[in-house]
Structure 1
């Protein structure tokens, strides 16, 4: 028995799935990740005890053509040719047919960002007893008049209903402009038109109709969607569709993390300092594993320099910063008030810090809530879900929101001090943690697991 995962090859997406994969594995399933990404990220999957099956393609209808040819001199013509010859779709179809025939999975879990794989897979699984599930690595992204899109910082009850509806109108306006420009640029072969064409061509039944009333990626009606979050973290006004289900807290506390010798040495030194000075407070900062993809390096360097200054203003504060491999050489490893690393084992660090400075990514916020650490969130841009995640963090009283471009060291210092000294944040975290429903296999695939156990 096999469960196949088709996920975006990024730590943030993969980490959210490991708890689900581990539970399936414990019930006798072989776990296979269909993968096309860097060896470094693939190693993370291997470390969890799962199989990596290397693919040769990426899903169609998500702009793969531009990414594939961006370094080529004739990138536009190459992309246009791929779209008219259906090269991306054909390669993906061959890849997925082969992996289905090889492993014969009972479950196929598709990352919501790879949702068009459902169209590609349909001819190969329609006559088989294969359960297909969309895994949503964000909160619900479907339109809801009472809650703003995840790209927005607006908060129900704080912002007016009209401003929330306006945020949805603004999102659709921008998306419409993007779709229109793509249609012109690629002579009618835009992503959304190709998706609709392949939906008809692969004879996907109308009951799975394409849904566009959502942000980020293509949706399908009545295809089960499992949201890898606890519903308690949502705005309570949020409408949930019949095919959606929140799985609960999906932080995999059994996740294998490498503790480097340098990190272990730092931890010992901090323990000695804290033993001698009980007033010592640890500020941990990480803007995510792909921060360079969301913000310009110059802006990120300025942010970390400002944060170093803010923490240095207090002799009883220490900063541990995970700046990513791209920025690591821009800072000394040891600074007067802390340490700078390319990567930090985050689950381990969150057990030993007092404030978490984050970009507002869903993984990081869930891990911060589980660790009971007040958070100061700096969303990196208005394109993805960091604004919406941060808005919910503030709504639940578990942290504060910063401005990446405007905050200076005094602003950061004031907000960190507020999180350290005001007990309301710790109380809110405890209250939210008490409400969080943890992942319960019986609620989501008990029938299949029960059959397997029998």
Structure 2
């Protein structure tokens, strides 16, 4: 309690004094003076920077846009939230999901209001809107997980529109710019992986299918369920014509490696050059990060998605994969080894999944860098 009280008092003072805004304003003003940009693109998770930037955009004539690295987080009527497994044709489920998220946000704000003597996040943002004389027409009022739900500014969504759900309102200010796949030159290739790759390719030539599994960054609270899932995954491929490449990140590789000693089917690494693995894999098992999904589409590899966490977009990305027939989504907590084996076999043997992902691959490749630049040129100074 002694340690928490000073922290609470500092937080309370920061909220009432607007210290965090003042520091951020100094940082961004210094950057603007140094760079003198003609255009600013802000990640949607930093959309609150618009409050700092707006006076500068007006005074300096700087054009502005928002970048969405994942499906936009603001709630849209009739569209599933990005962090739920609700399908777009489940109207009742969508309504329940919206209500749940709105109540969760309201509960958080009221808790802050009581804890910080009325100075919750929403109050702080509205105070700054008034002080900076920012027109209200820039704020949609929609519920959002983080930052500000802006409107009447150009938005750039780093996805192909074909991967999103139907029913999302079109706007001349909203631009889908595709996957913008990264170059393989950025990836590091280690000797132990190169040796394993040669062995895996020999097994592929002998008729085995390569399954690649990676869960990206796993938070501490998700470590145990992820490791338990890997146990079931290894059991699921036991004795089948499958070779498994596991990229386990910071998970306990020594614990997982017990399967490596027992099975010649499993190759375990802290990290692998993902684009290279996808060039010969037949199936990608992923946690549902949007970048991994886009890379799998670019490689034409069907997906099996097991979301690890439900705070952000992986559950919604898993639904998008299943909805568009690019693969299947599973339940990490409840799928047994038999369930996992069935899902793997289904995606590997049904040609429709590969056909669908190749069609999505073609759609993605229609989004050229030139198309992105053309959209960027449409950015204007917010007025």
SS at match of 1:407: coil
CA distance in 2, matches of 1:369, 1:75: 46
Q: What residue in structure 1 maps to residue 219 of structure 2? A: 292
Q: CA deviation at 1:215?
A: 4.2
Q: Where do residues 277-316 of structure 1 align in structure 2 (5 Å cutoff)?
A: 277=206, 279-288=207-216, 290-292=217-219, 295-314=221-240, 316=241
CA distance in 1, matches of 2:78, 2:160: 19
CA pair 190-304 structure 1, distance change in 2 beyond 3 A: same
CA pair 318-382 structure 1, distance change in 2 beyond 3 A: same
- Stretches of structure 1 that go unaligned for 5 or more consecutive residues are 1-70
CA distance in 1, matches of 2:61, 2:276: 41
CA distance in 2, matches of 1:406, 1:107: 48
Q: What residue in structure 1 maps to residue 242 of structure 2? A: 317
CA distance in 2, matches of 1:211, 1:324: 39
Are 2:281 and 1:328 aligned? Answer: no
CA distance in 1, matches of 2:252, 2:148: 34
Q: CA deviation at 1:175?
A: 1.4
Are 2:188 and 1:258 aligned? Answer: yes
Q: Where do residues 16-415 of structure 1 align in structure 2 (5 Å cutoff)?
A: 74-157=6-89, 159=90, 161-209=91-139, 211-253=141-183, 256-275=186-205, 277=206, 279-288=207-216, 290-292=217-219, 295-314=221-240, 316-332=241-257, 334-335=260-261, 336=263, 337-415=265-343
CA distance in 2, matches of 1:283, 1:340: 12
Q: What residue in structure 2 maps to residue 30 of structure 1? A: none
- Stretches of structure 2 that go unaligned for 5 or more consecutive residues are 379-383
Residues 138-188 of structure 1: per-residue CA shift (max 9 Å, x gap) = 11334333321112211123x2x2222222122211111112112212222
CA distance in 1, matches of 2:317, 2:204: 32
SS at match of 1:220: coil
CA pair 318-89 structure 1, distance change in 2 beyond 3 A: same
Q: CA deviation at 1:375?
A: 0.9
RMSD (CA atoms): 2.3
Q: CA deviation at 1:113?
A: 0.5
CA distance in 2, matches of 1:415, 1:152: 21
Q: CA deviation at 1:350?
A: 1.0
CA pair 212-329 structure 1, distance change in 2 beyond 3 A: farther
Residues 211-254 of structure 1: per-residue CA shift (max 9 Å, x gap) = 33444431222121111100011122222344221112222235
Q: What residue in structure 1 maps to residue 381 of structure 2? A: none
CA distance in 1, matches of 2:152, 2:377: 22
Q: CA deviation at 1:287?
A: 1.3
CA pair 388-302 structure 1, distance change in 2 beyond 3 A: same
CA pair 88-326 structure 1, distance change in 2 beyond 3 A: farther
SS at match of 1:225: strand
CA distance in 2, matches of 1:217, 1:404: 30
CA distance in 2, matches of 1:328, 1:354: 24
CA distance in 2, matches of 1:414, 1:76: 51
Q: CA deviation at 1:376?
A: 0.8
CA pair 150-323 structure 1, distance change in 2 beyond 3 A: same
TM-score (norm 2): 0.90
CA pair 188-326 structure 1, distance change in 2 beyond 3 A: farther
Q: CA deviation at 1:198?
A: 1.3
For the 8 Å contact 2:56–2:62, the answer to whether it is kept is no
For the 8 Å contact 2:282–2:301, the answer to whether it is kept is yes
For the 8 Å contact 1:357–1:376, the answer to whether it is kept is yes
Residues 313-363 of structure 1: per-residue CA shift (max 9 Å, x gap) = 42x211111111243344339442222222222111111111110111111
For the 8 Å contact 1:321–1:340, the answer to whether it is kept is yes
TM-score (norm 1): 0.76
SS at match of 2:60: coil
Q: How many residues align?
A: 373
CA distance in 1, matches of 2:350, 2:376: 47
CA distance in 2, matches of 1:184, 1:101: 39
